[in-house]
Every structure is written in structure tokens, then in C-alpha cells.
Structure 1
């Protein structure tokens, strides 16, 4: 993650923490050395620092310990914490420790007319503040933003949509659904019931979805009401996002009361489009279907782009869209193509694990060819020439992965044939079959009695099978681990059929 708001040391200790948290049995000193290519003295220093800082971050309820028997480093907790909780809070700890985000947060909360005034207020040296501001300036460049100390302007000036995106991704990447103090803002700005009520899934929003809504609302109200910064949206942009407004319900009355009708319409239109692009699953399938149909029935150029691209993907990869798969693919592709046409900012620096599916697929020659074909299709599209060269790499990555996902959504699920033979306990063979059908979709499992045509043979005895056939030797029916290993074997075969 390029824009992590961490210094180099903090980032390395954060990576060490994640590796140890995710390891089932802990990691040894030598394993960590091999993984991160540190010197022994550097790794020892980082581990010692990490042990102290983990305790500090979690008020001594979480510890980094070394197992006395195995020598491996493990995370020990006094309470039952999820992995996500541990990672998000230690991430927040290191971000606040590094100081870069601290400077940004204060810059957005307050207005300073000079660097010296800011340094005095923060009890820092001017040189330290200047150094951190230089990093922030570089982070703002892709978003078309600049830092200003002009008393007649807001702290961040430039491309208004870019500045709002930068603010959103900055705050979300740091806090996620952890707590963020609201002491500097009116309490009503944090109440999202009104904006929640507009969307279909208000009763089932998760903490992370609600946190994103809060940040979007807070940033919008702050930029508009306090700093008088309004979005500039062309008539064409307004037309391209018009069908995302699906209800007459009132939205952010604070804005409607204070803005002219024209300014309010622009803020509302952008908000309803942007929330769909930033927050997953706000709409029901029926609403998404209505939005897609409205675009398809329109004469908008962006709708034609989307339809044409989907048709070419379908032809190239010989896929059959289901109704639901088509709607979902069209909906997300449309959002992205509007973004490319009108906003076109590279946000890839805010993806923690990079814009890649390589970690979840066996990235072999066939996958390389798929992405080559996707790239060729994109380069042939009319809108390709409109992608700014500065944002090309990140935007292309997001678009390629969106298309890859659309192909996968429309891909027919594979099936596998399983032969079960149990000699020691005849009825157990049927019991194994029932367990498998209880776990997996019945359409994906085909049972056979012929070991020579099966993808997997499950047996308590040796069987002569084809070289390409998996054979799971099941001879401990009373051992729960044996059943788990059987499911793992089936999962691995399914994994290969999917990717």
C-alpha cells in the first residue's frame, strides 16, 4: 500500500505483526529472517519494539510472546479478539505514531495561515511539519489537490472531487470501522440515519458500511458548509449519473436548506453515484435492475460503452450471462466507466494488497492469456483514449479486474465426480456421501461407482486409480480431523476447476 501514512519502520513492524497474527502456529526467528530479509540485529530490534508497542496499543490485553517450547513468536490475547480487530487497531496505532496522518487530520480540522503557526499549535518544529507536509503534497498530486495556507481559502484546494476522494480514502484507510473522534464537528453531522434511509439495506448495514457513510457525509458537509467548496459537474456528467437517483426521498436536508437548488442537485447527484462506487451492497437486486434498465433504455453514450464492452467480453470468452450476473456486471462496470470518463484518478495507492488477483488464483499461462485478451479488448474501446496517462496503470488495473470478475460471475460452476467405497462399515459410505452433499451444492457433486472415471476416490483400502485421480485414504472414521482433511481435499479439487 503506497499511501499507508506510516514511516518505513512502522510499516515493517506492522507487516511483522500481520505475518505472526496470520500464522496458525506462530513463526520462528529464522522464518521471519527468511521472509523479510532483515539482519539479525534489525529483526531483534523490531521484535522487541513490536512486543512493547502491542501491549501499549491494546492496554496490555494483547501480547507478543515467544513460545518456550517451539521458540515461535505468537500473539496472545486476554480476550477473544478477531484478526480484523487486531490488525485494524495496530494499524491505527502505527499511523498515529508516524505523524503524517496527524498532520493531515489537524490540517483538515483547523485553518493555519503559516507553517510556523501550525508548528506552534502542534508543539513541533517547523522543519518537522514541513517534512510531513512535503509527503502529503506528493500524496495529493494524483488527486489534483494542493495544500494552501491562504487565509481566504480552505487548507486543501484544487480538484474538488479529487480532494473529497483523497479525504475519504485517507480517513477510511486509517480508521476503517474503528472509532474516530467527532469533537470538532456538530453531532448531527455524524448521524447517518437519513442517508441510510435512502438505500434498501439500511437494516442490515455492517459497521464498516456505516463507517464509510459517516466519512462520506462528514467530508461532504465539511467541504460545503464550512469551507464553501462546491463540486463542479458538467451537464454531461450530471446526465451520466442521473439514473442513480432512484427515489424522491429527501437527502441531507442540511445541504438543501443552505444551498441554491442548482448546487444542491449537483451535490445530491454526486453523492448518490459516489456511495454506490465506494460502499458495497447498498441496493437490492431490484433497484440495481431498475438502474441498469434505465441506462439501457437511454441514449447515453456511457450506456452504449457499457453494453458494447460487455458484448465483446461475452464473445471473446464465450460466456452466457445469467440475468443476475448480467445486472451485477453491468452495474459495477457502468460505475467504473463513468469514473474513467469524468474523474479518472488513480486510487491504486490505497489498496493494501495491491490491485491483483494473484494471491487468490493460480496465476499460470492461461491466466496471463486471459488478462492479455482483456487488455486488448479495453484498448479497442472508444473511451480508452480518454484515460489520462498519469492514471493509466491504476485505472487499467481496476478495470481489468472488474472485467475478470464479471467473467467469473458468468462462468458456469464446474462439477466433480466422487467414488466412495467403504469396506469396514458399509453404511458409513452413504454417511460420507450425505456429509458431502450437506456441505456442497448438489448440482456440483456427481457420485459414481467407477473408480476409473472419478475425479476423487474416497476409500478405506488401496484402490487402483488413474494417475490424474485423487485418492483420499479414509481409515479413521472416528477421528474428526480425518473428516476435515476429506473436505480439504474436495476443496482443492474444486479450486482447480474454478480457476
Structure 2
């Protein structure tokens, strides 16, 4: 959604900056033109504007796009983290868009009309109307909209509170990414309150949980908005919370009943576990998974059946502890798909598709299609799970199942014959490198070339297919080692599916 809230010019500049920062050797002007389909003059204009933007944003530690001949590159100082640079530039581009200005105005006050909202932010009604259509198109994926006429509300953001909460948890983080504290109307002490879940998190995750906490406290205490969830959904969330419960760190006695407070806490806990990885420890996840299995609730059987289906189909190897961890992750996903059922896939900055991993050696499109079909057919035949046909939700489930399959697959060892003719010791170095990188579970070396699935050599070893042969010619070039690792890992991946 963050790119949807950028103007086209800023979105194009941001994409160019990302590519330059990701590129180790820089990018040639012709490569940039070919990739972006923009003219040479437009690219030079983008670079000039980017350098102006970077000068304004990073005054203490200046950075610039530099040029050597026809190649452009960026050198970051050691203390200037690439994630901070990208998130800060992204945020600055989002904040100058009219869409984010309109949304902020609509979320902070209940304006009587579109004209009133437009006047409050000094935009023309016609321009506001056009931008509002763009915003509502994005909000519709979350079953939320900006509208007017209901004077009982305290803002112009309409929808079921559970859906609004889901959207705000998603939007505030993906827009701000912890670079700023975006809740100017909230009391300052909200920032200092203890977190409501016992957890050890990375700094970014800690900040994200504080975002969730602020949104919940503000909407519950100040806007008097309360979520409503079904008893059926609630029964799962209570189990999910048993081992590591959510306990709000502020007094709601005069605002929420005990039942309403319970609903708020368990829903907060679920959304936070959905959006933030590893809130629960490994041990807590395993205990929670076992509790869910023991409950024999309808969706837990669907989860068991789906996990067993991929175990059999893909010959997966899981011990009891691993099984419970996979079960926990899959159950979180099924609860989201079945009860929340919000497809926000098209609002992502980068679309999450296995297909995009395709290269000459790997056909991820085939893998994606296979798992897509598996999840659709399972949802059709399962006695409880809602039919999953929505493209974004299918993709979400496919990506998760692929991760489980890839982690638990029973891999056939790859037998490698390796020889290097220029000296007697590089061959051992190659073997050590691959075993360290890919592990002994996958890689086996053989001295019999006839038994090998793959040959690594700097010499002609007979009529061996190029798919099974890596020409290792220059051990003192880092690119050779990178290419070797990619070649072998690609071969392992391709051989499995």
C-alpha cells in the first residue's frame, strides 16, 4: 500500500534508489533505461532529484548517487544502515502524497462532507473526490472505506471495527516502519507503557507492537470503538492465548466490560502474532499447538488433515517437535483465511509470488501452480474450511505451504564428483565450502565419477550435460564461488520438485 500512496514520480525514483542500493557493482545507464523503460533524460532527472532528496533527508551523514563513466552507484557509510535509508526515503515520499493527507484527515475527525474534509487540508473538492476514489479502491480490500453522513462516528473511516483494526495494524507499520511515531494525537505516556505480551523481540518488532498497542488503546479508550468477533472464532483465540496471554497495561474498567476486554485482548494477541513473527517462544508454540489439537475444534482437524496431506505427497520428514511448530504456523494462517478472510495481496509493495524466483535452472511457476491447485482442492473437499479461491489468499497459503515443504522435505543426497587440475588443494577447499554452505544432509562427495549426479571440474570430463556440470576455472575470483553455490543449490531445489 505504501507505493500506492506515492505519486508516480516518487514511486519511480524510489524503485531506482532501491536497485542502486542493492547493486554491488552499480548500474549502467543503459541497463537502467532497459529495465525501467524510461528515457535517458528522465533517468538523469530522477538521479538529480534523488540526490536533492538525499541531501535534505540525511544532513548528518550525507549520501549521494555517484557516477563513474556511465555507471551509477551509491556508497553508504558504515553507520548508515540500508534499511534506515530506504524506509526514511519511502516515508518522505508517502507523506507528500495527497492520498495520505486525505486519509489522515478522515481518520482524525468526522467531517460532515467531502467538501468539509477538502477544505480542512486545502485541497479542491474535485481533486479530493478523485483521490478519495483511489484510496477507497485500496481500502476495499480490507472491507473498509472513507465515507460521510454517519454523525454518530468520530471519524470518516467506516467498517466493522475488527476489519478497521486489522487494516490499521497493517497500514501504520507498512507506511511508517518505525521511522517515526505517527500518533500525534495520542497521549505521550502511551509510548512508555509496558507491552501487553511477554516477549523478546527485535527493535523493529518491539516498535511495531507499540504501534498495535497505541492503535488499540486510542480506539478503545478515546473513540469508544469495540470489536465484535464470533463465539466460534473466539474459542480458538482463547486457546491461542493460554500459554502467553495478552494483558493490557492500562485501566479499561470504565470503558469495557470484562467480556469486551477479553475480546479486545485475544484479538490483539492474534493480530500481533499474525503480523509479527516469533512473539511466542518455540516451546510456547509447541504447547499451544498441542492445546489446539487436543481441543478437537473443527478447524484444528482441517489443519491436521492439510499437514498430513503435504507430508504424504511430498515425503516430508518431521519429528514431533517440528510437527507442532509447523502446525502452529499453519493454524495461524487458517484462522486468518477462514475468519478474517481479508485479501490485501495487491496492496503489497512487492508482490509475493514463487513465480518471481524462476530462472534458467528452476521452474518455480510449476511449483506454485502445483501447490495452488492443492490448496484450492483441499478447501473444496474439506468439510469445514471455507472454499479458498481468492487469488491473494491462495497465494498466501501456497507460500506458507512451500516454506513448510522446503523445510521438512526428505532430500535425496546429491552425489558430487569434484576435481581441480591446477593444484592439489583447491579440490578440498571446494568440498569444505559446499559442506559448510549446504550441509552434510544434502551434499555427498564421491571419488567415482560414474556415481555422481553432478561434476565440478576445470577440465573436460566426457560428454556430461551442462545441467550436471560446473566449470570451476578461477578459485581466486569471488564470483566463481558465488556462482558455484547458486548452481549447486539450484540443482538441489530443481531435483526435489
The question of 1:411 aligning with 2:412 is answered no
The equivalences for 1:183-262 within 5 A come to 183-191=184-192, 193-196=194-197, 198-199=198-199, 202=200, 205-247=201-243, 251-254=247-250, 256-257=252-253, 258-262=255-259
The question of 1:26 aligning with 2:26 is answered yes
The equivalences for 1:2-401 within 5 A come to 4-59=4-59, 61-67=62-68, 69=69, 71-77=70-76, 80-149=79-148, 150-155=150-155, 156-191=157-192, 193-196=194-197, 198-199=198-199, 202=200, 205-247=201-243, 251-254=247-250, 256-257=252-253, 258-361=255-358, 362-363=362-363, 366-367=366-367, 368-383=369-384, 385=386, 392-401=390-399
Tell me the residue number matched to 1:445.
443
Give distance in 1, aligned partners of 2:334 and 2:454. Answer: 44
Give distance in 2, aligned partners of 1:432 and 1:28. Answer: 33
Give distance in 1, aligned partners of 2:331 and 2:415. Answer: 39
Give distance in 2, aligned partners of 1:349 and 1:147. Answer: 19
CA contact (8 A) 1:456 1:472 kept: no
The equivalences for 1:454-493 within 5 A come to 454-458=452-456, 463-464=461-462, 466-467=464-465, 469-473=468-472, 479=476, 481=477, 485-486=480-481, 488-493=483-488
CA contact (8 A) 1:29 1:72 kept: yes
Query: Which 5+ residue runs of structure 1 have no aligned equivalent?
Result: none
Give the direction of change, closer, same or farther, for the CA distance of 1:167–1:495 in structure 2 (3 Å limit).
Answer: same
Give the direction of change, closer, same or farther, for the CA distance of 1:143–1:118 in structure 2 (3 Å limit).
Answer: same
SS of the equivalent of 2:180 reads coil
Give distance in 1, aligned partners of 2:394 and 2:376. Answer: 8
Give distance in 1, aligned partners of 2:342 and 2:373. Answer: 23
* Displacement of 1:52: 2.4
* Displacement of 1:414: 4.5
Give distance in 2, aligned partners of 1:487 and 1:440. Answer: 13
Give distance in 2, aligned partners of 1:248 and 1:64. Answer: 47
Per mean C-alpha deviation after superposition, the further-off stretch among 30-39 and 162-171 is 30-39
Give the direction of change, closer, same or farther, for the CA distance of 1:370–1:120 in structure 2 (3 Å limit).
Answer: closer
CA contact (8 A) 1:51 1:65 kept: no
* Displacement of 1:140: 2.1
Give the direction of change, closer, same or farther, for the CA distance of 1:3–1:77 in structure 2 (3 Å limit).
Answer: closer
* Displacement of 1:265: 0.8
What is the TM-score normalised by the length of structure 2?
0.87
SS of the equivalent of 1:245 reads helix
- State the Cα deviation string for residues 141-168 of structure 1 (Å, max 9, x = none): 2222232454431212221111112112
- State the Cα deviation string for residues 337-362 of structure 1 (Å, max 9, x = none): 22222221111133222131223353
Give the direction of change, closer, same or farther, for the CA distance of 1:299–1:385 in structure 2 (3 Å limit).
Answer: closer
CA contact (8 A) 2:456 2:472 kept: yes
Query: Which 5+ residue runs of structure 2 have no aligned equivalent?
Result: none
* Displacement of 1:260: 0.9
> How many residues are matched?
485
